[in-house]
C-alpha cells in the first residue's frame, strides 16, 4: 500500500512525520503549566489551557479552516486561531465576555477571520447564525467543532437561565448539552472532527461520570468516538497550593480521590 503524504484534514507532511515531535499522539497528556505566551493568560474560571487548542487545531484543521467554538468563554480558542491562522466562530452567552474577548484580539482579525456571536449555543437561532457566518467565510460547513461546556453546576458562571451551569439537575444539563451537540453536528462538514473537553464531578458523596454521559450525548446526535485523552489539570487552577493539604485530608477522610485530570474526547462526523 502506498504511504499517504498528507491527510485530508490537516497540514502535516507525513513524508516528514518525524519532524512533528511536539504533536502528541498518546492518550495521556501531562501538562503541569499553562502556556502564557501568544496572548494567553489565566483570567477566567474554567478556561482550558491553550495547549489543547494548539494540539487539536494542528491535528484536525488546515490553515484557513473554520473552527466553531460553542462555549467561547474567555477566548482561548480565538487567540490560538489567530496564532495558527485559522478562522473561528465563537459562541458565548455572556455579552460582557464577548466584548472582553474582542478587546484581546487584533482588530484586523475581528474584521476578517474571527466572528463572535452572543447567544445560547443550544438554540436553533444560534445555529443559524453560525451557518450564516460560515457562508460569509465562503464555506457550507465548519471544519472543526470545539465544545468545552460547564461541568454541570461545579462552577456557576452567571445568573442567566440559559447558562448550563444553572441547570437544576444533571439530567437537565445533559438535555441542554445534547442540543448544543446537535447544533455542532449539523454545522460540521462530513468527515471532520469535534473535540469535547469535559470532566467529572462528585455529588452527594458519589462520583458522577459527567464526561462519559456527555460522550453518549455526542454519540446520540450522530458523532462517532475517535479517541479519549486523559489530561492532567494540576497547575491550571488558581490557589491550588493553598488548599492542597485540606483536599488531601478530605480525600483520606472521605474515601475519594482528588480530581487531577479531565478528558479530551475526539469525535468525527461519519459520511
51-84 pLDDT tens trace: 999 999 999 999 999 999 999 998 999 999 999 9
- Tell me, what CATH number does 80's domain have? 3.40.50.150
CA–CA separation, 53 and 84 (whole Å): 10
Give residues with Cβ within 8 angstroms of 82, minimum separation 6. 39, 105, 106, 109, 113, 114
In a domain, 36, yes or no: no
Task: Render pLDDT for 182-207 as a digit per residue (tens, 0 to 9).
Answer: 999 999 999 999 999 999 999 888 99
Alpha helix stretches (DSSP H) within the chain: 50-60, 76-84, 95-104, 107-112, 124-136, 170-186, 210-220, 240-254
In a domain, 101, yes or no: yes
In a domain, 23, yes or no: no
- pLDDT for res 240: 45
In a domain, 55, yes or no: no
Q: In what order do the strands lie in the sheet with 142-147?
A: 28-29, 224-232, 261-268, 188-198, 142-147, 66-69, 87-92, 114-118
Average pLDDT rounded to a whole number, residues 204-212: 93
- pLDDT for res 239: 43
Instruction: Please provide residue 13's backbone torsions phi and psi, each rounded to the nearest 5 degrees.
Output: -85, 100
Chain centroid to CA 132: 22
- pLDDT for res 194: 98
Answer yes or no: is pLDDT of 237 > 70. no
Structural domains counted in the chain: 1
Helices (H) and strands (E) in the chain, counts: 8, 10
In a domain, 243, yes or no: yes
For residues 158 and 224, the model is more confident at 224
CA–CA separation, 53 and 33 (whole Å): 15
CA–CA separation, 198 and 263 (whole Å): 5
The residue segments making up the domain with residue 253 are: 64-268
Q: What is the DSSP code (8-state) at residue 31?
A: -
Task: Render pLDDT for 81-135 as a digit per residue (tens, 0 to 9).
Answer: 999 999 999 999 999 999 999 999 999 999 899 999 999 999 999 999 999 999 9
User: What separation in angstroms does the CA of 218 have from each of 116, 178, 236, 269?
Assistant: 24, 7, 26, 10
In a domain, 1, yes or no: no
What does the block give as the cell for 199? 470532566
Characterize the bridge pairing of strands 224-232 and 261-268: antiparallel
In a domain, 11, yes or no: no
How many CB atoms sit inside 10 A of residue 188's CB? 24
In a domain, 56, yes or no: no
Task: Render pLDDT for 242-263 as a digit per residue (tens, 0 to 9).
Answer: 566 888 898 999 999 988 899 9
Amino acid at each position: 500500500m502506498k504511504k499517504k503524504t498528507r491527510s485530508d484534514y490537516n497540514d502535516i507532511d507525513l513524508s516528514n512525520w518525524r519532524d512533528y515531535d511536539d504533536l502528541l499522539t498518546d492518550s495521556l497528556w501531562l501538562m503541569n503549566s499553562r502556556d502564557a505566551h501568544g496572548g494567553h493568560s489565566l483570567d477566567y474560571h474554567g478556561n482550558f489551557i491553550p495547549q489543547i487548542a494548539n494540539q487539536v487545531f494542528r491535528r484536525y484543521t488546515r490553515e484557513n479552516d473554520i473552527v466553531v467554538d460553542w462555549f467561547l468563554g474567555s477566548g482561548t480558542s480565538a487567540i490560538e486561531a489567530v496564532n495558527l491562522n485559522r478562522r473561528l466562530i465563537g459562541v458565548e452567552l455572556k455579552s460582557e465576555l464577548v466584548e472582553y474577548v474582542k478587546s484581546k484580539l487584533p482588530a484586523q482579525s475581528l474584521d476578517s477571520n474571527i466572528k463572535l456571536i452572543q447567544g445560547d449555543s443550544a438554540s436553533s437561532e444560534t445555529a443559524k447564525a453560525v451557518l450564516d457566518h460560515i457562508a460569509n467565510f465562503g464555506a457550507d460547513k465548519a471544519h472543526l467543532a470545539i465544545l468545552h461546556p460547564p461541568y454541570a453546576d461545579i462552577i456557576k458562571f452567571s445568573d442567566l437561565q440559559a447558562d448550563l451551569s444553572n441547570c437544576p439537575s444533571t439530567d437537565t444539563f445533559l438535555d441542554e448539552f445534547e442540543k448544543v451537540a446537535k447544533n455542532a453536528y449539523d454545522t460540521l462538514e462530513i468527515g471532520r472532527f469535534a473535540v469535547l473537553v469535559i470532566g467529572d464531578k462528585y455529588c452527594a458523596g458519589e462520583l458522577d461520570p459527567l464526561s462519559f454521559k456527555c460522550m453518549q450525548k455526542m454519540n446520540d446526535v450522530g458523532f462517532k468516538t475517535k479517541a479519549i485523552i486523559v489530561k492532567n489539570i494540576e497547575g491550571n487552577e488558581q490557589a491550588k497550593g493553598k488548599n492542597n493539604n485540606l483536599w488531601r485530608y478530605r480525600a483520606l477522610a472521605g474515601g475519594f480521590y482528588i480530581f487531577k485530570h479531565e478528558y479530551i474526547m475526539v469525535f468525527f462526523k461519519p459520511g
